[in-house]
Structure 1
Amino acid sequence: MNQDFVKLDRLDGTGTNFNRWKDKLMFFLTALKVAYVLNPNLPEIPPPKDGESDEVKKQREKRQEDEVICRGHILNTLSDTLYDLFTVVKSPREIWATLEREYASQKQGADEFLIKKYFEFKLDDSSSLMDQIHNLQVIVSKHKEYGVEISESMQVGAIIAKLPSSWNDYQKKLLHTSEILTISSVLKHLRIEEGARILHKKEFDSDPRVNMVHEKKF
Structure 2
Amino acid sequence: MTTDDNTGVVDINKPFRFEGNHFKRWKQKMLFFFRMKNVNFALTTDKPTVSENAENDEKDKQTNGLEAWVENDFLCRNFILNGLSDDLYYYYNSNKNAKEIWDALQKKYDIEEVGTKNYAVNRYLKFQMTEDKSVEAKSHELQKFAHEIISEGMSLDEQFQVAVIIEKLPPAWKYLKKFLRLKTKEFSLESLITSLRIKEEARKQDQ
Q: TM-score, normalised by structure 2?
A: 0.81
**Structure 1: segments with no counterpart, 5+ residues:** 205-218
How is 1:64-143 mapped onto 2 (pairs within 5 angstroms)?
64-143=70-149
Deviations along 1:2-52, one digit per CA (max 9) or x if unpaired, are 66313522222xx3221122122122111111122212xx23222375724
| Preserved CA contact (<8 Å) 1:19 1:145 | no
Give the counterpart of 1:28 among 33, 58, 67: 33
The aligned counterpart of 2:192 is: 186
CA distance in 2, matches of 1:127, 1:7: 42
Q: 1:6 to 1:189 in 2, by over 3 A?
A: farther
Deviations along 1:46-71, one digit per CA (max 9) or x if unpaired, are 23757246665444333221211111
The aligned counterpart of 1:38 is: 43
| Preserved CA contact (<8 Å) 1:123 1:164 | yes
The aligned counterpart of 2:18 is: 11
1:101 CA displacement:
0.8
**Structure 2: segments with no counterpart, 5+ residues:** none
Deviations along 1:111-134, one digit per CA (max 9) or x if unpaired, are 222221111111122223222222
What amino acid sits opposite 2:49 in the alignment? P
CA distance in 1, matches of 2:200, 2:33: 45
| Preserved CA contact (<8 Å) 2:23 2:110 | no
Q: 1:147 to 1:68 in 2, by over 3 A?
A: same
The aligned counterpart of 1:47 is: 50
Deviations along 1:69-104, one digit per CA (max 9) or x if unpaired, are 111011011122221111121211111111111112
How is 1:196-211 mapped onto 2 (pairs within 5 angstroms)?
196-198=202-204, 200=205
SS, match of residue 186 in structure 2:
coil
What amino acid sits opposite 1:28 in the alignment? F
What amino acid sits opposite 1:162 in the alignment? K
Identity of aligned residues (%): 29
Range with greater deviation from structure 2 (56-65 or 72-81): 56-65
Q: TM-score, normalised by structure 1?
A: 0.78
CA distance in 1, matches of 2:71, 2:167: 57
CA distance in 2, matches of 1:163, 1:81: 44
Aligned residues: 197
SS, match of residue 107 in structure 1:
helix
| Preserved CA contact (<8 Å) 2:40 2:76 | yes
| Preserved CA contact (<8 Å) 1:11 1:77 | yes
CA distance in 1, matches of 2:80, 2:185: 49
Deviations along 1:137-163, one digit per CA (max 9) or x if unpaired, are 121121123222222232111100001
